[in-house]
Structure 1
Amino acid sequence: MEIKERTLTQLWISKKDSSAHKGRIKWWIALKNMSFCHNIINISCVKSSWSNDVRASLYSLMMIIILTTLVGNLIVIISISHFKQLHTPTNWLIQSMATVDFLLGCLVMPYSMVRSVEHCWYFGEVFCKIHTSTDIMLSSASIFHLSFISIDRYFAVCDPLRYKAKISILVIFVMIFISWSVPALFAFGMIFMELNIKGAEQIYYKHTHCVGGCSVFFSKTSGILAFMTSFYIPGSIMLCVYCRIYFIAKGQARSINDSNPKLQIGLEEKNRISQSKDRKATKTLGIVVGVFLICWCPFFVCTVMDPFLDYTIPPTLNDTLIWFGYLNSTFNPMVYAFFYPWFRRALKIILLGKIFQKDSSRSKLFLESS
C-alpha cells in the first residue's frame, strides 16, 4: 500500500494546471476508495466494489450450485457403479458424463466462485492457466458427452433391432475416449501455447491483462474455433438427432394407427412398451437439448461476438454467463437420472444405507422387460 500512496502523491503534486486540479481531486478521491488486487495500482486489476451483503449472497448462491452439482452427479456415479442392473453401454456413457460434471463442480467452480465475487485471482499465474484449461476441457467434455448420448439414443429408438450390434461396449469406450481427449488437447493446447490470444496480443496486454486477474480471452480466430468446437458442432448434432428421433417416432405412431384393425390389436401389446420407451427417450432428449441451448448459448454467442465488438462486453456479464453455462452440469443428473424410476429407487437405497447390505448390488431397480 506504500507504493500506492506514493504513486497517488506524485500524481497529485505533478498536476499544476488549476483547471485540471479539481478533476484530479475527484479522481484521487475515487482512486483512494478503490481496492486493488495488487499493490502496484497501474498494473493491478480492480477488486469488486460490492458490499459484504452482496458478496455473502453471491457466495451462498454459488455454493448451492456447487453442492447441488457435486451431490447430484455423485449419486449418479455411485448408482451406475454399484448396481449391476445398470451396467449397460448407455449408462457407462452417462456415468462418464456425470464424472466430468462432478470434476467441474469439484475442481473448477470453487475457484471460479472466488474470481467472480472478488474480481481477483489469488492463486498464481500458472494455476490460472491450469484452471482455465481445465474449465474449458471439462465444459467441452460435458457437451461432447451430451452429443454422443443423443447419438446412442438415436440408434436405440430408430434402429432397435441393430442397436446392440452397432453400439457395443467398444463403441461406447471410443465415444468416452473422444469426449475426454479432444477437449483436453484443445483446451490445454490453446491456453498453454497462448493460441487464444494469437492475433490480438497488443489488445490483450494493453487493455485486458492485469496483475491479479484470470480472465478468459479469445481473439477473433480462437473465439470462432472455440465456438465451433465446443458448442456449434456438438449442439448441431444434438439438435439434428432430436429432430430425426421426433419425426421417426411420430411416423411410427401414425403407421400403427393407420394399420389393419386386427393387426393393430395384435401389435398393440407388443409395441406398447416400445412406444412408451420411445416417447420417454424423445421427451428426455428434447429436454436435454433445450437445457443445453438455454445454458450455453448466451455464453458462446458472447464469446464469438466479443472480439468483433472490440471487447465491449462487460466482464461481469461474461462471468454471469459462465455460471449460467455451469448450470448445465447441475441440471444434467436431474434430466438424465431424476426422470427415470430406477434412479429414484437407487437413491432411496443409498439414502437408507441399504447400499452397504450384502448383495445390494443385485437389487432389482426395474423389470428387465420394462
Structure 2
Amino acid sequence: MFLSLRSPLCVLSYIILGLLSVVTVCGNLLVIISVMYFKQLHTPTNSLILSLSVADLLVGVLVFPFSMAFTVTSCWYHEDLFCKIRGSFDVSLSTCSILNLCCISIDRYYAVCKPLIYRTKINDHVVVIMILVCWGISALIGIGVIIAGFNQGKCEGSCLLDALISTTMGCIFAFYIPVIIMLSIYLKIFLVAQKQARSIQNTKSGATVSKLERKATKTLAIVLGVFLLCWTPYFICMIFQPLLYLSTPVAVIETLNWFTLSNSMLNPFIYAFFYSWFRSAFRMIISGKIFQGDFANSKL
C-alpha cells in the first residue's frame, strides 16, 4: 500500500529521495565541469568519464523525480504514460552507463596491455565515435522498448513488475552480456598489469607512466565494481522472477531500483577519493576560484 500524499512518512520520503537527487546532480556536475574546464583533464579516458557523468546527471534530473513519484504514490494518478516515460528514461540511461563502462574498459585495455599503440587506437576521433555509439544505441533501446509494448495496458500497482518481466531478454543483452565482456577485459588487464609489475625493467619515467596507468585502471575497476554491487541484485531478481513464476512485491522492486539509482550518486565520490587532480578541481570549483580568473591551464 502506497503512502498518502499528506502523510509525514510521504513528506520524509520526498525529502530523503530529493536529497539523493540533489547530491547526484551536484556531484556529477562537478565531474563534468572539471573535465570540460581544466585542460589537464582533456584525455580520452576522462572524455569517457565525462560521458558517464552526463548519463548519471540525467538520472538525477530525469529518473529520480519520476521514481520518487512512483515510489510514494504509485502510478494510480498518471495512468500508463507515466510508467512508459519513466521506463524509457530508466532503460536508456542505465544502458548508456553500461555501454560507457564497456568503452572505458576497452580504453584501459589498450592503455595497460598495448601501451605502444594506445594513442593511435584510442584518440579523440575514436572516443567521439564510442560516445556517439553509446548514446545512439541507448536512445534506440529506450524508444524500441516503448514501441515493443513496454508497460502496455492500464498502469496499476504492478505495472513496473509486468514491464520488468516482459524485458527479461533485455536484461540479458543490456546487462549480463556487457558485464561478462567487461569482467573478461579487466581480468586480462589485471593479469598483464601483474606481469608488468614483476618484470618492469624500464626507465624511471617509463615505470612512473606504467604505475599511473595501473592506478587509473584500478580506480576505474572500482567504479565497475560499485556499479555491479548496485545493479546485480536488481537484475538477478529480474532474471529469476519470470522463470520461477514468482510475484515479487512492488516494495522490494522499488528498493532494488533505488539501490541501482544510487550508483549514479557514488561515482563522483570515487573519483574524488582516488584521484588527487579531481579533488583539486572540485575544491577550485566549489570555492568559486575558477570564476576569479583563468585557471584552465592550472596544474592539478
The residue that corresponds to 2:257 in the other structure is 322
The residue that corresponds to 1:138 in the other structure is 93
Residue 54 of structure 1: how far off its partner (Å)? 3.4
Structure 1 residues 302 and 85 mapped into 2: Cα distance closer, same or farther (>3 Å)? same
Structure 1 residues 122 and 77 mapped into 2: Cα distance closer, same or farther (>3 Å)? farther
The residue matched to 2:247 in structure 1 has which SS?
Answer: coil
Residue 297 of structure 1: how far off its partner (Å)? 0.5
The residue that corresponds to 1:74 in the other structure is 29
The residue that corresponds to 1:346 in the other structure is 281
Q: 1:83-133, CA deviations, whole angstroms, 9 ceiling, x for partnerless residues?
A: 122222221111111111101100111120121122345445334312211
> Structure 2: 5+ residue runs without aligned partners?
none
Structure 1 residues 324 and 360 mapped into 2: Cα distance closer, same or farther (>3 Å)? same
CA distance in 1, matches of 2:251, 2:290: 44
Return the index of the structure with the highest Cα Rg.
1
The residue matched to 2:262 in structure 1 has which SS?
Answer: helix
233, 243, 266: which one aligns with 1:331: 266
Give percent identity, aligned residues only: 45
Which aligned segments of 4 or more residues in structure 1 are displaced greater than 4 angstroms? 209-214
185, 191, 195: which one aligns with 1:251: 195
Residue 210 of structure 1: how far off its partner (Å)? 4.3
Matches for 1:164-313 after TM superposition, within 5 Å: 164-194=119-149, 196=150, 209-211=154-156, 215=160, 217-218=162-163, 222-256=166-200, 264=201, 267=202, 269-313=204-248
278, 287, 293: which one aligns with 1:358: 293
* Contact 1:132/1:216 (<8 A) preserved: no
CA distance in 2, matches of 1:301, 1:216: 14
The residue matched to 1:307 in structure 2 has which SS?
Answer: coil
65, 71, 78: which one aligns with 2:20: 65
Give the structure-2-normalised TM-score.
Answer: 0.90
Q: 1:221-265, CA deviations, whole angstroms, 9 ceiling, x for partnerless residues?
A: x43321122211221122111111111111111223xxxxxxx5x
Residue 286 of structure 1: how far off its partner (Å)? 2.9
Residue 293 of structure 1: how far off its partner (Å)? 1.3
CA distance in 2, matches of 1:57, 1:268: 58
Structure 1 residues 129 and 364 mapped into 2: Cα distance closer, same or farther (>3 Å)? same
Greater relative contact order (Cα 8 A, min sep 6): structure 1 or 2? Answer: 2
Residue 192 of structure 1: how far off its partner (Å)? 3.0
Structure 1 residues 92 and 121 mapped into 2: Cα distance closer, same or farther (>3 Å)? farther
The count of residues paired between Structure 1 and Structure 2 equals 300
Residue 276 of structure 1: how far off its partner (Å)? 2.2
* Contact 2:271/2:278 (<8 A) preserved: no
> Structure 1: 5+ residue runs without aligned partners?
1-45, 198-203, 257-263, 366-370
